[in-house]
Amino acid sequence: MRKRFFCRRALAKIRGVCYNYCIMKRILTDVHTYTTFSPDGRDSIEDMLSCAHAMGVKYYGISEHFDFDVLVNNIQVFDHPYRHTDSAAYFSKARQMQTQYAGKMCVLVGGEYGYTDTAEAHGMYQKHYDTYRPDFVVNSLHNLINGDYCRGKPFKKPDGSYRDKEEVYGEYFDLVLRSTQVEYPWDILGHVSYCTRYAPYEDRRARWVDYADAIDAILKEVIARDKILEVNSSNKQGVSLMLPDTDILERYFELGGRKISFASDAHFISRICEHRDEIADILKAIGFEYITVPRCGEHIKVEI
């Protein structure tokens, strides 16, 4: 009896050590996700958080869409009228859920602010930030004045033919640079190279070597402003595993950039932390040692 008891205890101890080791090796972060509060989110906040928690996620950030660019420029994103996120309802519910998960998973209540080059929208973002005080803001460019890259309009001329890739991508990177210089607060520069996800060109990649000056200017701005460059694993068309691609991340590292976040950009539960492990391996190979999680202005380092 005594011997069997000892064995069970020893086994439990070994299991405990292994379990702790696994947790230490894989602290999961996913900061930039959605729920049905957003017009394109498919799963409820309850289901998204429950799934993330079951997966062992330690830092989970919700970043509903706040698209004052769509509002101000009257952009038609979908075939139906655009349903903007109800800010008051979202922040109220998300804060409640944040309290509910306290001690189990760090839930970050944030937002994704869609950039446009107009003072009116910038003022609206500042007011939104002052009113709701999100835990973090993802600064993202989705739209040209005539529509979202995801719907194809920025790639087309008025006659319906396609614009040159160099012209479209150059314009995109110039706008991303301008987005880094806004006055309203932000923490993470979201999905750089977003236009490549939806581009109609045979070779859709945006290689650093082809846009070196424009991309360097963006990366230097992120570093100088002590912001975080997002590594986004949502790349629907499969042009690369992540946005931005490895060559741009290597250049960021070379320039001294160390602050990166991981984002699945999940709009439904099955995409939470998607490709996280493969991407972690790539990041480690480049030299990155940690993921940075923004929380109310603080930057939390999480070992990769």
Q: Which residue is nearest to Zn ion (CB)?
A: 140
Nearer to Zn ion, 140 or 233 (CB): 140
Nearer to Zn ion, 28 or 263 (CB): 263
Interaction between residue 38 and Zn ion (CB under 5 A): no
* Least Cβ distance, residue 55 to Zn ion (angstroms): 22
Instruction: Spell out where 85-201 has E strands.
Output: 106-114, 137-140, 143-144, 147-148, 188-189
* Least Cβ distance, residue 235 to Zn ion (angstroms): 12
Of residues 220 through 259, those in contact with Zn ion by CB under 5 A are none
Which contiguous run of DSSP H or E holds residue 173? helix 165-179
* Least Cβ distance, residue 172 to Zn ion (angstroms): 13
C-alpha torsion sign, points 265, 192, 249, 61: negative
- Specify the amino acid at residue 300: I
Q: How far is CA 132 from the centre of its chain?
A: 20
Residue 180 makes CB contacts below 8 A (sequence gap 6+) with 139, 189, 218, 221, 222, 225, 227
Nearer to Zn ion, 98 or 232 (CB): 232
* Least Cβ distance, residue 4 to Zn ion (angstroms): 57
* Least Cβ distance, residue 170 to Zn ion (angstroms): 21
Phi and psi (nearest 5°) for 101?
Answer: -95, 0
Nearer to Zn ion, 140 or 235 (CB): 140
Tell me the C-alpha distance between 150 and 154, whole Å.
9
Of residues 259 through 298, those in contact with Zn ion by CB under 5 A are none
Nearer to Zn ion, 230 or 290 (CB): 230
C-alpha torsion sign, points 106, 111, 112, 113: negative
* Least Cβ distance, residue 112 to Zn ion (angstroms): 5
Of residues 100 through 159, those in contact with Zn ion by CB under 5 A are 140
Nearer to Zn ion, 129 or 198 (CB): 198
Number of residues that bind Zn ion (CB under 5 A): 1
Q: Each residue of 168-192: b (16+ CB within 10 Å) or e?
A: bbbebbebbbebbebebbbbbbbbb
Q: What is the binding site for Zn ion (CB under 5 A)? A: 140
